[in-house]
Amino acid sequence: MRAKSAVVLGAQWGDEGKGKIVDVLSDHFSAVARYAGGHNAGHTVIISGEKFILQLIPCGVLRKGCKGVIGNGVVLDPIAFLSEADRIRQHGVQLDGALFVSNRAQVILPYHRMIELASESAPGRKKIGTTSRGIGPAYEDKMSRGGLRVVDLLNTALLKDHIDAACEQKNSIVRALFGSQQQPGPLDAAQIFDLYAEAAEKLRPYVCDTARLLNGILHSGGSVMFEGAQGTLLDIDHGTYPYVTSSSATAGGAATGTGVGPTAIGTVIAVTKAYVTRVGEGPFPTEISGPVGEEIGRRGNEFGAVTGRKRRCGWLDIPLLRYSNTINSAEWLVVTKLDVLDHLAEIPVCTAYEIDGKLTDEIPADISGINKIVPRYTTLKGWQSNTEDIRDFDDLPAAAKEYLRFQERESGAKVGMVSTGPDREQTMILPEFAAALEAMRP
């Protein structure tokens, strides 16, 4: 029997609209669990015109009766978490007994932000385009076994010893990274300890063994949705390295990032835009330059929910989507922002790559290889009519239906859901996918 669980993740470079999709789907699940990333992620959810921007807290908390869980694979900034929780409460959302934080999650501390900012601006350093929120350095400390976990944050004596030792070490690292440039003032260990000891007590009521919690929900007949952050092409192993994030954004990260075994994952749902966007640095084979790209960005409101950074826009990339679906074992596709393409008479779709004069659909592992890609396009007919707010697949223009079916045929996953606007209600769910969702209900 298939497990009552699903991974929802980004099929591209993030910003595919996962927040809205997780919110819509959460009605069918007992809990939604974040499994990777930190408060560099941004999920925007619009409910009856009211906007929620979530960074750490899973979208599931916006559904009454659905638990939100921050798993052990997440790096948690306690100050950012508590601030976000307060903002959500101001919208009338009840978090007591509904939001849980893993006692094994790693903690982001002020020196992680300082290290990242210094490293990104150091002489000779190739810029990755990070958010400078300390995500990467926190994962570095985790992997070098020098990090602080949430369970340790709650131990006052251990917290003080850790901060004293870390501040001494990190101050010397930053001096080396900045070199002759103007340096920030040294970290004040006593001040940091006071701030985070206070935050720890406010965090304490949320903390538990979330692996035990999630496995208990599944074993008792409940259902769990695993919420991805960023996107597949930003995964530390499978993305366009080194222009990637520091965590496992692919479906495999759901098991390691929550403590739920891989056989307990029932299906994988990949979210893809009807085109492609990327924020920050890094290769982008189908990027559109000039007025057409600017217009798509304007119509799609392509600015980061957390950073406000402008997103680069490109045509749909089928080899990239096929690669993403393969490494995630994606069964379903959710297509967002179809309405952004309503104005186009013709829509190019990349269906193959030319590299050094040879056609291929394989994604090169190295950046130099990706930079050699010459996209080969198939031009599909546009529909040039309004699709915003359409709720039924049969009501779409014929060319829009064909665009979706082409995406389905070429990518190896079935289109189960289409978003035709930013609001929760501006969504169509196809019958086969609706049946699969109903089977997930606890």
43 is catalytic: yes
- Candidates 256, 79, 83; CA nearest to 153 is 79
Among the listed residues 43, 112, 162, 238, the single catalytic one is 43
* Residue located via tokens 């990104």: 120
How many Å apart are CA 258 and CA 134, to the nearest integer? 21
**Does residue 6 sit in helix, strand or coil?**
strand
Output the CA torsion sign for 319, 322, 328, 333: positive
Residue 50 token pair: 């009211």
- DSSP letter for 59, please: G
- How is residue 191 annotated by DSSP? H
Helix or strand run (H / E) with residue 333:
strand 332-336
Catalytic one of 15, 23, 235, 339: 15
Return d(Cα 52, Cα 126) in angstroms, integer.
34
Distance, CA of 275 to CA of 286 (rounded, Å) = 10
CA–CA separation, 332 and 345 (whole Å): 28
Give the closest residue to 416 by CA, choosing from 323, 325, 296: 325
Could you confirm whether 188 is annotated as catalytic?
no
Kindly state the tokens that stand for 205: 């009521």
Residue recorded with tokens 């900012």: 117
State the Cα angle at 138 between 135 and 143, rounded to 5°. Answer: 125
Place of tokens 């997440």: 74
- DSSP 8-state code for residue 196: H
Residues assigned a catalytic role: 15, 43
